[in-house]
Structure 1
Amino acid sequence: MNAAHDRAGLAEQLRRLGVERGGALLVHASMRAVGRVDGGTGAVVGALRDALGADGTLVVPSFTPENSDTSRHYLHLVHGLTDRETEAVRARMPPFDPAATAAPSMGRLAEAVRLTPGAVRSNHPQTSFTALGPLAGPLTAHHRPDCHLGEDSPLAFLYEAGAQVLLLGTGFGCCTAFHLGEYRVPSPPRRTYRCVVDTGNGRHWWEYEDVVLDDSEFPALGAEFERTDAGAGAGSAVRTGSVGSAVARLFRFTDAADFATRRLTSRRGPAPA
C-alpha cells in the first residue's frame, strides 16, 4: 500500500504548482483522487490554507440540488416513480438553510470547508459558495437569489479579485468559472427553476427565472482551454502537476471565464443578421 500523504507535503506541492500566497482560490476537488492523507480531509483543507497563507481566501461550491424539483438530481431520483411516490419525495425535501443544509454532492473537501469554524456561506438556495479567509464576507454577501452563477454571484467577485481556480483530481466538467461565461453570452436562454425555501413563514416552494446552465460542453471546452496560450511568452493558461496522488490543474479565473465567454458566444450566441 502506498504511503499516506501529509499536510506539509501537500502544501509544498500546491506552492510549487503556483498557488498564490494571499490570493483567492476556488477549489473543485476529489478526495478519492488525492489518495490517503494523514489527518484525512481536514489535513487537505489545512494544506490549502497553508499554501494560501493567512491573507488568502479559500472558496468552494456548496450547491444543493437536493432541495429542487427542477434539478437533474431530482429528475434522476423520481424517474420511474408513481405520482403518489413523487409527491412523497417532494414533501420530504427540506428548505434551504445556509447555516445547516449539507451539500453532499459537492464532495468531502467542500463539506469539510463548509463545516470549518469561521466559514461563511452565501445565501443562494441552490448554488451557494462557502469561503474561509479575509475575503469570505464580501465574497458571499451579495449572492442574489435569482442569479445562480452570474454577475450577482460570488463568481463575479472572484473574477474581479483575480482569483485562481484549482481542479484537484477533477476535470473541467465541474469548472464553475465556465458558467460565468454562459451569463456573458449575448441574450443567453433562460428557464424556470424551483426549490424549497423558508423565509420565516414556514416551508414553501419558490419559483424564479434564470439563465439556462448547460455544462455538457465543458469537458471539450476545457481541453481546448488547456491548449491555449496564457499570453505572449507565458505558455499554457493551465499549470498541471501532482498534489497527493491527484493530477491538479491551476489557472486564472479570468482566463477561464473570458475563454468560455468567447467560445460559447460563437457557439450559442444569436445568429448574425
Structure 2
Amino acid sequence: MDLAERDGTGPRTNLSLARDLRTLGLGAGDTVLLHSSLRSLGWVCGGPVAVVQAFLDVLGPAGTLVVPAFATENRDPARWAGPEIPASWWPRIRDSLPPYDPRLTPCRALGIIPETVRCWPGARRSPHPQTSFAAIGARAEALMSRHDLASELGEESPLAALEAAGARIVLLGVGFDRCTAFHLAEYRLPWRTPRDNACVMTTPAGRAWVPYRGVLLDAGDFAALGADLERTRTVTVGSVGSARARLLELPAAVAFARDWLADRRRSPGEASTNAIRMPGDGLR
C-alpha cells in the first residue's frame, strides 16, 4: 500500500476495499445483506465490479452476498414518485408495463452495485415482482428460494431466511433509513395495517396485473431507530474506502427494531413522517 492509498488520495481497488472490509469485521463464510452507495467510496478502479469482487474475496466460497433488487416501477403508476409522469400517461403505462422477469427486470433504481450483483454470473434472485433480493454465493439458492407474493418483506421472504441464517448487515456509505431488515420487525408488531397492491406478472393466461394484499410499511423513523441501536454499541463503525461503513448482526437488529417500534408507534401506521417510504424506493 503506497502513501496515496494510505492518506485517502489514491484510487480504491478491490484489494484495498477487501482489506477495509476485513478490518471492519467481515470474514470468510459470512452471509451479508449489503446496502451501498458506490459514490461514497471515492474513485474505485473497476467501479461496481471491483466492489462486488472485494466482498466475494472476503466472504470466500462458503460466504454469500445479498442485495435488495427491488423492481420499484412494477406497480400502478399512480403510486410512482415524482411529477415527471403525468396522469394522462397512466392508462398507457398500465397497458404496456413489462411483466416481472427475474432474469431481465433491472433494479438500477437501488444503485449500480445491486444491479451488478443481480447480473453477476451464477446470481440467484427471489421471485417477488416488486421486492426481490439477489444473491451470490454458497447459500444463494436456499436464501432466494421462497418469496411469497403477500410477504413483501415478511416471514415468507428472504429477510426471514437471512435472519435464520444469522446474516450480517453492511451499510456502506448509506444510513439506517436504508436498512431493509427493519421492515421485518414491522411485520412482528402487535398491529399490521393491510394495503392492497398489484404488479404485472406473466400468468398461465399471459401478461396480467395481479392483485394482492400486503402490509403498509414505513421507513420514516428508521434513522432514529438506527441511531438508538448504535448507542447500544452493537454496531461496528469504520471506513471502507472513503465511505462510512456500519456492520451489524441482522437477527439482533430485527429484535431491537421490533421492541423499539412497538414502544414508539402507538397506532397502526404511525411513524415519524407522513410519507410512506421503503429503502431504495420512492414515495409509496
Q: Please say whether Structure 1 and Structure 2 have the same fold, judged by a TM-score greater than 0.5.
A: yes
Aligned partners of 1:77 and 1:125: how far apart in 2?
24
Q: How does 1:253-264 map to 2 (within 5 A)?
A: 253-264=250-261
Which one-letter code corresponds to 1:246 in the other structure? Answer: A
Shift, 1:30, TM fit = 0.2
Answer yes or no: is the 8 Å Cα contact 1:175–1:218 preserved in 2: yes
Q: Which residue identity lines up with residue 251 of structure 2 in the other structure? A: T
Within a 5 Å distance, the mapping from 1:162-173 to structure 2 comes to 162-173=166-177
State which of 36, 40, 44 in structure 1 corresponds to 2:47: 40
Q: Which residue of 1 aligns with 2:197?
A: 193
Report the Cα offset of residue 89 of structure 1: 2.7
Shift of 1:199: 1.8
Distance 1:185 1:219 in 2: 18
- Give the 3 Å change call, closer, same or farther, for CA 123–71 of structure 1 in structure 2: farther
Tell me whether 1:3 sits opposite 2:7 in the alignment: no
Does structure 1 retain, via aligned residues, the 8 Å contact 2:71–2:131?
A: yes
Q: Deviations over 1:215-267 (max 9, x none)?
A: 11111111111111xxxxxxx11101110110000000011101110011122
- Taking the TM superposition and a 5 Å limit, the aligned residue runs for 1:103-252 are 103-228=107-232, 236-252=233-249
Does 1:268 find its partner at 2:272?
A: no
Query: Measured at CA, do residues 48 and 66 of structure 1 come closer, stay the same or move farther in structure 2, by a change above 3 Å?
Result: same
Does the alignment pair 1:23 with 2:63? no
Change (3 A) 1:97 1:237: same
Normalising to structure 2: TM-score of the pair?
0.87
**Cα–Cα, structure 1 residues 209 and 71, in superposed 2: closer, same or farther, change >3 Å?**
farther
State the SS of the aligned residue for 2:82: helix
Alpha-carbon contact 2:131-2:152 (below 8 Å) kept:
yes
Runs ≥4 residues deviating over 4 A: none
Query: Which one is further off, 23-32 or 191-200?
Result: 191-200
- Paired residues in the alignment total 261
Q: Determine what percentage of the aligned residue pairs are the same residue.
A: 46
Q: Please say if residues 69 and 133 of structure 2, whose CA atoms lie closer than 8 Å, have aligned partners that are also in contact.
A: yes
Deviation at 1:54, TM superposition (A): 1.2
Check the 8 A contact 1:185/1:268 in 2, yes or no: no
Q: Quote the offset at 1:142 in angstroms.
A: 1.0
Q: Structure 2: which amino acid aligns with 1:199? A: T
Report if the CA contact (8 A) 1:186-1:270 is conserved: no
CA RMSD in angstroms comes to 1.8
Shift of 1:185: 0.5
Question: Normalised by the size of structure 1, how large is the TM-score?
Answer: 0.91
- 2:72 is aligned to 65
- Counterpart-to-counterpart distance in 2, 1:109 and 1:4: 18
User: d(CA) in 1 for partners of 2:84 and 2:91?
Assistant: 9
> Which segments of 5 or more consecutive residues in structure 2 lack a partner in the other structure?
1-7, 269-284
